[in-house]
Structure 1
Amino acid sequence: MPWLRSSPQCLSLSPGQRECERTAFSFYCAVRQQLPVWLLEEMRSMEVFCWDNGSPRAFLPSEALLYAIVHDHRDYARYLLNRFSVSALRAPSCSFCCCPGSGAPHLNVAVRYNRVAVLSMVMEALKDCDGPPGKRGEYLDGCGGCVHAADAGKTAVQLAVELSHPDCLLQLLVHGARPDGLEVALQRLESCVVSERQAAQRCLDFLLLFLSKPPPLPWLRDEPQRWQGVLGDSVFSWLCGLAPSPLLLQALRCLAQSGSHCITSLPDFLQPEIHFRLL
Structure 2
Amino acid sequence: MPWVLSSPLDTLSPSQRHCERTAFSFYRAVRERMPVWLLEDMRSMEVLCWNDGCPRAFLPSEALLYALVHDHQDYARDLLSRYSVGALAAPGCSLCGCCKSAPHLNVAVRYKRVAILRMMLEVLKDCDGARERREYLDGCGGCPHFADAGKSAVQLAVELSHPSCLLQLLLHGARADALDVALQTLVSCDAAARQDAQRCVDLLLLFLSEPPRLPCLQDEPQRWQSLLGNKVFTWLCGLAPPPLLMQALRCLARSGPDWISLLPDVLLQDACQ
Q: Aligning the two structures, in what range does the TM-score lie when normalised by the shorter sequence? A: over 0.9
- % identical equivalent positions: 69
Cα distance between partner residues in 1 of 2:256 and 2:143? 31
Residue of 98, 114, 117 corresponding to 1:116 = 114
Tell me how far 1:24 sits from its aligned partner.
Answer: 0.7
Kindly provide the amino acid, as one letter, of the partner of residue 184 in structure 2: Q
Cα distance between partner residues in 2 of 1:234 and 1:22? 58
Question: Which 5+ residue runs of structure 2 have no aligned equivalent?
Answer: none
Residue of 179, 184, 187 corresponding to 1:187 = 184
**Maintained 8 Å contact 2:176/2:208:** yes
Q: Deviations over 1:18-39 (max 9, x none)?
A: 2221111000011111111011
Structure 1 91/194 Cα, relative in aligned 2: closer, same or farther at 3 Å?
Answer: same
**Maintained 8 Å contact 1:232/1:276:** no
Cα distance between partner residues in 2 of 1:160 and 1:258? 25
Kindly provide the amino acid, as one letter, of the partner of residue 120 in structure 1: R
Q: Could you say what secondary structure the match of 2:34 adopts? A: coil
Cα distance between partner residues in 1 of 2:130 and 2:18? 42
Determine the structure 1 residue equivalent to 2:143.
Answer: 146
How many residues were matched structurally?
272
Tell me how far 1:267 sits from its aligned partner.
Answer: 4.0
Tell me how far 1:260 sits from its aligned partner.
Answer: 4.6
Determine the structure 2 residue equivalent to 1:6.
Answer: 7
Tell me how far 1:221 sits from its aligned partner.
Answer: 3.1
Cα distance between partner residues in 2 of 1:260 and 1:171? 10
Determine the structure 2 residue equivalent to 1:205.
Answer: 202
Q: Could you say what secondary structure the match of 1:93 adopts? A: coil
Tell me how far 1:152 sits from its aligned partner.
Answer: 1.9
Determine the structure 2 residue equivalent to 1:67.
Answer: 66
Determine the structure 1 residue equivalent to 2:251.
Answer: 254
Kindly report structure 1 stretches of 4+ aligned residues shifted beyond 6 Å: none
Structure 1 259/67 Cα, relative in aligned 2: closer, same or farther at 3 Å?
Answer: farther
Q: Could you say what secondary structure the match of 1:257 adopts? A: helix
**Maintained 8 Å contact 1:99/1:147:** no
**Maintained 8 Å contact 1:218/1:240:** no
Determine the structure 1 residue equivalent to 2:156.
Answer: 159
Structure 1 18/103 Cα, relative in aligned 2: closer, same or farther at 3 Å?
Answer: same
Structure 1 267/178 Cα, relative in aligned 2: closer, same or farther at 3 Å?
Answer: closer
Q: Deviations over 1:232-259 (max 9, x none)?
A: 1111111111110000011111222345
Cα distance between partner residues in 2 of 1:104 and 1:125? 14
Structure 1 234/4 Cα, relative in aligned 2: closer, same or farther at 3 Å?
Answer: closer
Determine the structure 2 residue equivalent to 1:125.
Answer: 123
Cα distance between partner residues in 1 of 2:116 and 2:255? 20
Q: Could you say what secondary structure the match of 2:50 adopts? A: strand
Q: Give the stretch that moved more between structures: 118-127 or 145-154.
A: 145-154
Cα distance between partner residues in 2 of 1:229 and 1:114? 31
Structure 1 178/112 Cα, relative in aligned 2: closer, same or farther at 3 Å?
Answer: same
Determine the structure 1 residue equivalent to 2:88.
Answer: 89
**Maintained 8 Å contact 1:170/1:260:** no
Residue of 208, 214, 221 corresponding to 1:224 = 221
**Maintained 8 Å contact 1:108/1:145:** no
Cα distance between partner residues in 1 of 2:12 and 2:148? 29
Q: Could you say what secondary structure the match of 2:214 adopts? A: coil
Q: Give the stretch that moved more between structures: 208-217 or 98-107.
A: 98-107
**Maintained 8 Å contact 1:231/1:276:** no
Cα distance between partner residues in 1 of 2:32 and 2:38? 12
